[in-house]
Structures are given as C-alpha cells and as structure tokens.
C-alpha cells in the first residue's frame, strides 16, 4: 500500500496536468505500466470469482448429506 501511495503522489507531483501524461517520458512509462497492470488485475478478479464459485460447488457436492450413487 505504501508503494501505491507514493507512486500516486509522485504521479501527481511530476504530472500536474493531464496533457503531461502524453508529453513526458514519465507519463508514457506510467501509461504503459497501467496498460499492462489493469488487464491483469481485471483477469485476476474474474478468475478469483470463478474459482470461488467452483470451490463452493465442489464443497456442496462433496459434503452434501444425501448419499451419491
């Protein structure tokens, strides 16, 4: 969390205007970094939810009170 906070603070101090995101080397590097990081976070969030549902379904099957044939 400290790294995220200091990174955000640096971005605000070094890139005071939105235009500087596209015109400075630091802004370009941040845009590339965000372009790689955000899709990974979206995929991780999706897969976490899918895995949780799969574990719950498996637990219901394994630990159900009715006998299986």
pTM of the model: 0.61
Domain spans of the chain? 2-62
Average pLDDT, the chain: 87
**Joined tokens for residue 4:** 């995220």
Q: Which DSSP string do the residues of 4-60 spell out, in sequence order?
A: HHHHHHHHHHH--STTHHHHSHHHHHHHHHHHHHHHHHHHHHHHHHHHHHHHHHHHH
37-47 confidence digits (pLDDT tens)? 999 999 999 99
pLDDT of residue 64: 82
54-66 confidence digits (pLDDT tens)? 999 999 888 886 6
- In total, the chain counts a number of residues equal to 69
Handedness of CA 14, 19, 24, 27 (dihedral sign): positive
């Amino acid at each position: 969390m400290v790294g995220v906070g200091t990174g955000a603070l640096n971005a605000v101090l070094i890139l005071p205007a939105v235009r500087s995101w596209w015109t400075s080397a630091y802004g370009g590097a941040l845009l590339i970094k965000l372009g790689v990081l955000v899709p990974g976070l979206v995929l991780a969030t999706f897969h976490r939810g899918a895995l949780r549902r799969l574990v719950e379904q498996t637990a219901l099957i394994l630990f159900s009170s009715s006998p299986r044939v």
